[in-house]
Amino acid sequence: MQMMTLGKTGPQVSRFGLGCMGMSGMYGPSDRTESLATIDAALEAGVTLLDTGDFYGMGHNEMLIGEALKGGKRDKALLSVKFGAQRDPAGNWIGFDGRPSAVKTALSYTLQRLGTDYIDIYRPARLDANVPIEETVGAIADLVKAGYVRHIGLSEVGADTIRRASAVHPIADLQIEYSLVSRGLEDKILPTCRELGIGITAYGVLSRGLISGHWKQAAASGVAGDFRAHGPRFQGDNEARNLALAEALGKVATAKGMTTAQAAIAWVAAQGDDIMPLIGARRRDRLAEALGALDFVLTADDLAEIERAVPKGSAAGSRYQEAQMAHLDSEK
């Protein structure tokens, strides 16, 4: 496994991380046994960073990872945890809580569910519009001093918020969606992170499967619990246009001996040594395919050909529904 340092002040991590959200029902029913086997396979392959959120399955994902790390495996993993998202019993997003007291309470439950006494990277999932970022980060900094947290991260925030947060405490990384069809961070956010020595953990590198080469039109329709059925990019004509982009990418990938997913992942990795793609696999075969992207080094000509197939700004539809987009400081 290739290794990298996450930002100027962050830990050494594997070149790819494993995003575990899909193992807790966000993409429809998941298989617990296969999920545990996938986490184990990732660790055996040298993947060190496991990414989760306390609101993934309302604690289910953290408990799943805690189970996977039993038997002395905790030392093999770096745990990256998002907190603060507020959801009702039906799973609906109802806001974000970044108050210092909420930060410390959330961590207490997270430590219990994961069965650990510290978190490697702790980050607010979103910006709380009612709480200055300095207060939220300051509360995590208190937890760093107390030994409960090793590093502080951010998620889906804009350049100004990143600067304000980093003035309070060193920030290891920013977690943000980044793919061939989601390139909004390139204009201001990525340059700011690079100026400040902050790494990027890129999620959604396959746009939730849309540009993986495996997605079929209306695949999420009627699947209980699959939030993609309501995503703008998975709707009607938008979905058809986006799948045409995936098909174009697939043709380029095949000519280079890659799968569509491998080309999409390798493209993200090629954007900088400070960028770690998060692989959202919940099955061992998908994990193996994704890790195969490590075997390819894309040339400047390769990158140009891929970008001609999927031009910047060519995706149809926004990456979240309008109400959720309004919560994204990174989009302002």
Q: How far apart are CA 294 and CA 265, in angstroms?
A: 9
Q: Specify the fold of 3-331.
A: TIM Barrel (3.20.20)
| In contact, 200 and 274? CB cutoff 8 Å | yes
- Band the pLDDT of 228: cuts 50, 70, 90: confident
| In contact, 167 and 198? CB cutoff 8 Å | no
Q: Residue 327: what pLDDT? A: 78
Residue 220 has pLDDT above 80, yes or no: no
Q: How far apart are CA 183 and CA 67, in angstroms?
A: 35
- CA 318, 319, 323, 326 torsion-angle sign: negative
More confident residue, 47 or 225: 47
Instruction: List pLDDT tens digits, range 29-65.
Output: 889 999 999 999 999 999 999 999 999 999 999 999 9
Please count the other Cβ atoms lying within 10 Å of the Cβ belonging to residue 96. Answer: 21
Tell me what the pLDDT averaged over the chain comes to: 95
264: left (phi over 0), alpha (psi -120 to 50) or beta: alpha
- Band the pLDDT of 326: cuts 50, 70, 90: confident
Please count the other Cβ atoms lying within 10 Å of the Cβ belonging to residue 86. Answer: 15
- Band the pLDDT of 75: cuts 50, 70, 90: very high
Active site residues: 56
Instruction: List pLDDT tens digits, range 157-204.
Output: 999 999 999 999 999 999 999 999 999 999 999 999 999 999 999 999
Residue 27 has pLDDT above 90, yes or no: no
DSSP 171-213: --EEEEE-BTTB-GGGTTHHHHHHHHT-EEEEE-TTTTTTTSS
Instruction: List pLDDT tens digits, range 147-158.
Output: 999 999 999 999
Contacts of 85 (CB under 8 A, 6+ apart): 53, 54, 55, 93, 96, 125, 126
Residue 221 has pLDDT above 80, yes or no: no
Give the lowest-confidence range in 23-32, 75-84, 220-229, 274-283: 220-229
Percentage, residues of the chain above pLDDT 90: 85
Q: Residue 135: what pLDDT? A: 98
pTM of the model: 0.95
Q: How far apart are CA 25 and CA 30, in angstroms?
A: 6
**Which SS3 state, helix, strand or coil, does residue 153 take?**
strand
Contacts of 91 (CB under 8 A, 6+ apart): 58, 225
Residue 213 has pLDDT above 80, yes or no: yes
Q: Residue 225: what pLDDT? A: 77
Instruction: List pLDDT tens digits, range 81-90.
Output: 999 999 888 8
Q: How far apart are CA 172 and CA 200, in angstroms?
A: 9
How is the chain split into domains, by residue range? 3-331
Residue 292 has pLDDT above 90, yes or no: yes
